[in-house]
């Protein structure tokens, strides 16, 4: 319990510092880098890397010796993560190609900001750090570990609309998306590349075709999205069943875990 309290404090203090600094300085820092590089997408990625320093320091406080690559699941199989994500998102590309027009306005900045940076950094920051450090290394179960990250993930996307009904829909979609990505991360042996590529490929399908101006979408887009989500869940469960591996998230790990694996050292 003592380690659990320390880890929770480190995680929330680190993420709060990141949250405050990101809100205050992200746009100004990105503008400064843009003036140097004249490339918005690259400036966005560089700024994300700098804004994540508090989370990196928090990881080093929790894991004295372990590499943050290992702690965040970045050392796992990249190809496996990509292939699984590709299979699960194929319905989006097939469906969208029939229903929506190709988006001729897609640019390199769009790809770097909305696909590469959003998919990579949001998954590493929210799933690897905020969710993963709590669920893997404390007695907190899945629900308390995932709640605040999914909540903030949903709030983060509210800028996409000013209409109340639409904003609620956007929040619910992204809140549940945050839970899905966290569940997928846990069930695929904490291979962060699985939710990273799922996030990237889902965003790419949204940008490649003229689907919607926000994350909510319409009837057709959500039908295909539900098919894709269904594949993520069904294929994950079938894969683990075939391998004889128990689900990481189950009734014994939903709220409070009785035991945690002692794999970390608290500074």
Report the pLDDT averaged over residues 198-211: 97
Dihedral of the CA atoms 145, 147, 150, 155 (nearest 10)? -140
3-state secondary structure of 204: helix
Q: Is the dihedral of CA 153, 156, 159, 160 positive or negative?
A: negative
Domain annotation covers residue 146:
yes
Dihedral of the CA atoms 42, 26, 213, 81 (nearest 10)? 60
Report the pLDDT averaged over residues 39-58: 97
Domain annotation covers residue 79:
yes
Give the whole-angstrom CA distance, residue 265 versus residue 10. 13
Burial of 117: CB neighbours in 10 Å, binned 0-12, 13-18, 19+:
buried
Burial of 171: CB neighbours in 10 Å, binned 0-12, 13-18, 19+:
buried
Domain annotation covers residue 8:
no
Report the pLDDT averaged over residues 175-203: 98
Q: Are 116 and 226 in contact, with CB atoms under 8 Å apart?
A: no
User: Which DSSP letter does residue 159 get?
Assistant: G
Residues facing residue 256 across a β-bridge: 140
Domain annotation covers residue 149:
yes
Residues facing residue 209 across a β-bridge: 102
Domain annotation covers residue 218:
yes
Report the pLDDT averaged over residues 63-81: 91
Domain annotation covers residue 252:
no
pTM strictly above 0.85? yes
User: Token pair of 178, please?
Assistant: 């945050």
In terms of residue numbers, what domain contains 176? 69-243
Domain annotation covers residue 158:
yes
Residue 267: is its pLDDT beyond 70?
no
Question: Hey, how many other C-beta atoms are within 10 angstroms of the C-beta on 163?
Answer: 10
**Into how many domains does the chain fold?**
1
Residue 263: is its pLDDT beyond 60?
no
68 confidence band (pLDDT: 50, 70, 90): confident
Domain annotation covers residue 20:
no
pLDDT of 91-113, one tens digit each?
999 999 999 999 999 999 999 99
Per-residue model confidence (pLDDT) at position 259: 64
């Amino acid at each position: 319990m003592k380690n659990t309290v320390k880890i929770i404090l480190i995680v929330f203090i680190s993420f709060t510092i990141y949250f405050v600094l990101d809100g205050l300085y992200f746009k100004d820092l990105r503008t400064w880098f843009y003036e140097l590089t004249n490339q918005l997408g690259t400036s966005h990625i560089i700024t994300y890397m700098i804004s994540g320093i508090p989370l990196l320091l928090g990881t080093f406080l929790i894991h004295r010796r372990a590499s943050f690559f290992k702690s965040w699941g970045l050392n796992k199989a990249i190809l496996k993560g990509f292939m699984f994500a590709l299979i699960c998102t194929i319905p989006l590309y097939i469906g969208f190609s029939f229903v929506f027009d190709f988006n001729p306005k897609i640019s390199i900045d769009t790809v770097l900001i909305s696909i590469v940076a959003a998919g990579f950094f949001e998954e590493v920051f929210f799933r690897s750090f905020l969710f993963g450090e709590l669920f893997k290394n404390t007695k907190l179960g899945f629900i308390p570990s995932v709640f605040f990250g999914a909540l903030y993930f949903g709030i983060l996307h509210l800028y996409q609309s000013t209409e109340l009904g639409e904003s609620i829909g956007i929040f619910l979609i992204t809140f549940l998306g945050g839970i899905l990505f966290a569940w997928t991360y846990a069930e695929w042996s904490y291979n962060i590349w699985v939710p990273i590529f799922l996030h990237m490929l889902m965003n790419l399908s949204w940008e490649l075709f003229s689907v919607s101006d926000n994350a909510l979408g319409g009837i057709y887009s959500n039908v295909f999205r539900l098919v894709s989500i269904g594949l993520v869940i069904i294929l994950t469960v079938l894969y683990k069943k075939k391998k004889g591996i128990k689900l990481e998230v189950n009734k014994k790990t939903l709220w409070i875990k009785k035991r945690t694996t002692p794999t970390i050292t608290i500074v």
